[in-house]
């Protein structure tokens, strides 16, 4: 699917991570019994530390903190819709967006929409927010992120020392810029990242003891075959070249995948950066975390690419030159 939304501005982006930070060996000593083993893991993934939220802190809490500077720049009464993208909501019922509408002090006559999506979730949420801002002719506050550490298996190295927690807030308004989007779904590979028994389809013997499961080799293959092809198709469809893009803000799966993806595309590492060494894989919050890390650079045309759970790919090309990029706060 390829589409375009005209007449929007991405006004501001802010991020929040838990204040608690652990080295991967501190966090998983039973999996990384020696310093040598830990160093090998860091060399492979690029992740040396993880931001881990206490069980009492949810994704919604992190988003509420991230939203503070974004909402400070606008009259809250103007907000026309709230979009919240996460795989780790406060509750299944009610949806978290309705709770956040009250906590953020937004008016009652607005649309609140929750989207369950992972690694490609930022692009999905951004597309939804752009459409709503355009249709409603009003600002949309969009939150995204996860506290994946709450659902990893303490005995599973593939997830335990990879995922960190984070949430982000993005303000989208009617404006003068255009945004291009493409989406791909590979539902036949859904088992590559799965949290069995997390919904209403039950199994007596859930994979990975009922915690989040990740097929590392399958994800690597997907990321280095389907994703570069998807990126090239998107560029061709928009009549852009690699040189026309100032930054590739890609999902921060791990350093090996990002480095290999940059090499496969033929772009320098500084143009497709790895920035998550001290946070971990932030799921749907990772693209805004890249943008925040690059906030001192001039970002005109940015290619955002999220890929993973589904399996799925979400791409967006738009202008961030007028976007106010805040630093990363802590909660």
Percent of the chain having pLDDT more than 90? Answer: 95
DSSP assignment, residue 29? Answer: T
CA distance 122 to 292: 14
CB-based contacts of 67, cutoff 8 Å, min separation 6: 14, 104, 141, 143, 169
Residue 123's pLDDT is 98
**298 against 68, higher pLDDT:** 68
CB-based contacts of 232, cutoff 8 Å, min separation 6: 265
Could you tell me which of 275, 225, 230 has the C-alpha nearest to residue 253?
275
- For residues 120-131, give the mean pLDDT: 98
- For residues 269-293, give the mean pLDDT: 96
CA distance 121 to 216: 20
Structure tokens at 271: 């143009």
CA distance 40 to 21: 20
Structure tokens at 266: 């033929």
Residue given tokens 């509750």 in the structure block: 91
| Domain spans, the chain | 1-331
Pairing of strands 2-17, 177-185: antiparallel
This prediction has a pTM of 0.96
Structure tokens at 280: 């971990």
| 210-248: pLDDT as tens digits | 899 999 999 999 999 999 999 999 999 999 999 999 999
In the three-class reduction of DSSP (H, G, I as helix; E, B as strand; rest coil), residue 156 is classed as coil
Other Cβ atoms closer than 10 A to 36: 9
For the cut 90, the answer to whether the pLDDT of residue 205 exceeds it is: no
For the cut 90, the answer to whether the pLDDT of residue 85 exceeds it is: yes
Band (86; pLDDT cuts 50, 70, 90): very high
CB-based contacts of 55, cutoff 8 Å, min separation 6: 150
For the cut 90, the answer to whether the pLDDT of residue 70 exceeds it is: yes
Band (209; pLDDT cuts 50, 70, 90): confident
Residue 166's pLDDT is 98
- For residues 313-321, give the mean pLDDT: 97
Residue 241's pLDDT is 97
DSSP assignment, residue 183? Answer: E
**Phi-psi domain of 3 (left: phi exceeds 0; alpha: psi -120 through 50; beta: other):** beta
What phi, psi does 300 have (nearest 5°)?
Answer: -90, -80
**73 against 143, higher pLDDT:** 143
CA distance 128 to 120: 13
CB-based contacts of 16, cutoff 8 Å, min separation 6: 62, 63, 65, 66, 166, 167, 168, 169, 328, 329, 330, 331
Residue 46's pLDDT is 96
CA distance 151 to 219: 19
Percent of the chain having pLDDT more than 70? Answer: 100
User: Counting beta carbons within 10 angstroms of the beta carbon of residue 109, is it exposed (0 to 12), middle (13 to 18) or buried (19 or more)?
Assistant: exposed
For the cut 90, the answer to whether the pLDDT of residue 88 exceeds it is: yes
Band (296; pLDDT cuts 50, 70, 90): confident
CATH of domain 1-331: 3.40.47.10
- For residues 102-110, give the mean pLDDT: 97
Mean pLDDT of the chain: 96
Cα 255 → chain centroid = 16
């Amino acid at each position: 699917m390829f589409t375009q939304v005209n007449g929007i501005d991405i006004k501001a982006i802010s991020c929040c991570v838990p204040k608690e930070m652990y080295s991967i060996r501190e966090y998983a000593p039973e999996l990384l019994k020696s310093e040598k083993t830990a160093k090998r893991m860091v060399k492979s993934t690029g992740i040396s530390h993880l931001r881990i939220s206490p069980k009492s802190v949810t994704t919604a809490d992190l988003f509420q903190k991230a939203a503070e500077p974004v909402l400070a720049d606008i009259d809250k009464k103007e907000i026309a819709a709230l979009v919240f993208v996460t795989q780790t909501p406060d509750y299944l019922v009610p949806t978290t967006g309705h709770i956040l509408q009250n906590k953020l002090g937004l008016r009652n006559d607005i649309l609140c929409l929750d989207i369950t999506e992972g690694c490609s979730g930022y692009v999905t949420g951004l597309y939804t927010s752009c459409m709503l801002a355009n249709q409603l002719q009003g600002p949309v506050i969009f939150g995204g992120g996860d506290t994946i550490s709450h659902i990893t298996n303490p005995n599973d190295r593939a997830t335990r020392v990879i995922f960190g927690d984070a949430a982000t807030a993005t303000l989208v308004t009617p404006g003068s810029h255009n945004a291009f989007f493409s989406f791909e779904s590979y539902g036949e590979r859904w088992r590559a990242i799965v949290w069995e028994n997390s919904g209403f389809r039950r199994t007596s013997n859930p994979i990975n003891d009922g915690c989040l499961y990740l097929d590392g080799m399958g994800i690597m293959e997907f990321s280095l075959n389907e994703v570069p092809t998807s990126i090239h198709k998107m560029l061709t469809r928009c009549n852009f070249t690699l040189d026309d893009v100032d930054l590739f803000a890609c999902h921060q799966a791990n350093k090996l995948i990002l480095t290999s993806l940059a090499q496969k595309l033929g772009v320098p590492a500084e143009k497709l950066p790895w920035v998550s060494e001290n946070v971990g894989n932030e799921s749907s919050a990772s693209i805004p975390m890249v943008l925040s890390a690059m906030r001192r650079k001039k970002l005109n045309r940015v290619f955002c690419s999220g890929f993973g759970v589904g399996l799925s790919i979400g791409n967006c090309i738009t202008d961030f030159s007028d976007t106010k990029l805040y630093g990363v706060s802590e909660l």
